[in-house]
Every structure is written in C-alpha cells, then in structure tokens.
Amino acid sequence: MNADATGESEELRRARLRALAARHGVVFEVRGAQVPCVRGLRVIGYDVYLVGRHSEPMLRPGCTKCQSIWVDLGALAHAALPRVERKTRFSIRPFDHALHFATAEAPAQVELVIEVRHRTDYAHALDDCEEVCLARLLGNLRALGITESRAGQHLGSSR
C-alpha cells in the first residue's frame, strides 16, 4: 500500500493508515541494539519492530501474504519516520523470509525492523539525539493507532 496517495487529505491519509494497522493487528516492540566493547556490551541505538499478524494459514515462510503484510508495514513505517534531519538516522531492514512467533499459541507474524542509529559514529554510546528521535518515531506510530506489544522490551530510555 502506498503511504502517500496523491490528492489525499492528511485526515484521509491518517485514517487509511490507521485502518491498515488495525487490519494487520500491528504492534511495536523496542529493543536496545548492542555491540561488544571492552567492558561488555554497549547500547548504541534502538531496533523498533513493527509486527503484523499473518491471519491466514501460512503456506511457507515468505509467502505472498507475508510479503503483502511487509509492504503494508513499510507504508506504516515510512509514514511514521520523523522528517527532521538530525545526527540520528533511520533505516529499514530488508524483508526477512523467516517465521516469527511471539508464543507457541500465537499466529505467525511478519516483522519489519526500523533501526535508530548514529548517522556517523555507528558504535558510539546512546545520547540524547537517539532518545529524542525514538520518542518522535514512537509518537508517530501511536498516532497511527499502533500500540506497544506487551512482550516489548525497551533498554536504556526513560520514555
């Protein structure tokens, strides 16, 4: 689904994206991204997982339904990305053909990962810029009706 339909009012666009999030039962999870350092592990940014339910029986990992859900998650992700250029960058990981299950009883899920990282010094420790950018991204996701998963973990932030 295209995140920006031409001639569409902002109100209509937001309603369409909210319906899209509801159709797939989209939630988000935030996890600290870590790298090894001299003293153990250092949190260098965040991975924000957008998770959509695969509501039909899955034929195989990466099936056309999975790909369709991932495209819709991409439309939601692009709509939620903050537009202000800062020291922090956002990037979306490529499509993952693996199966994802929150629990043994849960239906299969499709994940899209948004990376929140330093623009230049990749392995630098977290700073206020990542915190501000993460807060803006999460605020935009919530404005689209996407809530945090109960299983979601968040490291290193006071949001």
Reported as a pLDDT band with limits 50, 70 and 90, residue 57 is low
Section 77-96 average pLDDT: 90
In a domain? residue 21: no
In a domain? residue 135: yes
Section 103-124 average pLDDT: 80
Range picked from 73-87, 93-107, 120-134 for highest mean pLDDT = 73-87
Domain count of the fold of the chain = 1
In a domain? residue 159: no
pLDDT in tens, 130-141: 999 999 999 999
Reported as a pLDDT band with limits 50, 70 and 90, residue 158 is very low
In a domain? residue 157: no
Least confident segment among 50-59, 78-87, 114-123? 50-59
Section 25-40 average pLDDT: 91
Averaged pLDDT score across all residues of the chain: 84
Mention every residue, 6+ apart, whose C-beta is less than 8 A from residue 20: 1, 26, 72, 75, 76
Note the pLDDT of residue 14. 93
Reported as a pLDDT band with limits 50, 70 and 90, residue 108 is confident
Q: Which residue has the higher pLDDT, 121 or 108?
A: 121
Query: Would you say residue 16 has pLDDT above 90?
Result: yes
In a domain? residue 6: no
Which of 48, 26, 74, 80 lies closest to 153 in space, CA to CA?
A: 48
Q: Residue with structure tokens 């159709």?
A: 23
Range of the domain at 98: 26-148
Note the pLDDT of residue 153. 41
Note the pLDDT of residue 125. 82
In a domain? residue 63: yes
In a domain? residue 41: yes
Q: Is there a contact between 68 and 53 (Cβ–Cβ < 8 Å)?
A: no
In a domain? residue 153: no
In this structure, are strands 40-53 and 27-37 parallel, antiparallel, or unpaired?
Answer: antiparallel
